[in-house]
Amino acid sequence: MKKTFKVALVASLLSFSATTVMAEKIGYLEQEYVIASHPLLAKGSSFEKMVKKETDSLANERKSLEAEEKKLIAEGNSLKKEDQKVGKTLTEKLNALEKNKKSLKSAEIAKKQAEIQKIAQDFQKKVNAYKTKESLFANRLQSFQNKVALVQEKIAKKEQETRIKVVKEVKEKIKSIAKKEGYDWVLSSEVIFFSKDEKGTNLSDKVIKALGGTPAKK
């Protein structure tokens, strides 16, 4: 008799527990989708406009640097070819001078030496000018890289600040909707790996609308 009573009691408790769980009203939320759809982060938001403005500015500056680098490379290649020609010219002139030195007067020798020296000096001026351009470009490139780092830091900081505010508002709206509509649980879809009966209501779009956002078309 006692055994029968215990079995009946356990069955009754299990039935009560199952009924209670089944009676619970469950909702779930696509958290990242809701956050990304918030007016402060969605397309057209002030944050998105700020990011676009900063990234477009960097893209234009990068394009300018790439064009300048391309010109420097072309000029450097041209100088290498000219260096070979100048070297050949100087060698020929020096050999000719050495060969004809005995038959030339001092003034003529001095004149030819001056011509050779001028050729070398003129080319060296081109090399020095190129090195100056290279140095200025390197400084500009470093400045750009520093700017990129600062912009990335600025965007990351603004995104974090905005996200904290958005998450707070999302939580408040979820609580408000859950209380108003009698939900016992509102879960995050990111942590639901399996649901046998696929029960629960997706509250994502409702929360987005309550926040003043526009749900994505599905």
Segment 63-85, tens digit of pLDDT: 999 999 999 999 999 999 999 99
Percent of the chain with pLDDT over 70: 84
Q: How confident is the model at residue 193 (pLDDT cuts 50, 70, 90)?
A: low
How far apart CA 43 and CA 86 sit, in angstroms, is 60
- What are the phi and psi torsion angles at 15 (to 5°)? -65, -40
Q: Which residue stretches of 104-198 are H helix?
A: 106-181
pLDDT given at position 199: 61
Percent of the chain with pLDDT over 90: 72
How far apart CA 41 and CA 48 sit, in angstroms, is 7
- What are the phi and psi torsion angles at 203 (to 5°)? -95, 5
pLDDT given at position 198: 55
pLDDT given at position 196: 53
Residue 10 has pLDDT above 80, yes or no: no
Q: How confident is the model at residue 12 (pLDDT cuts 50, 70, 90)?
A: very low
Residue 189 has pLDDT above 70, yes or no: yes
Residue 15 has pLDDT above 60, yes or no: no
- Overall average pLDDT of the 43-55 stretch: 94
What's the pLDDT tens digit per position in 85-108? Answer: 999 999 999 999 999 888 889 999
Q: What element of type H or E holds 9?
A: helix 2-23
- Overall average pLDDT of the 161-178 stretch: 94
CB 163 within 8 A of CB 40: no
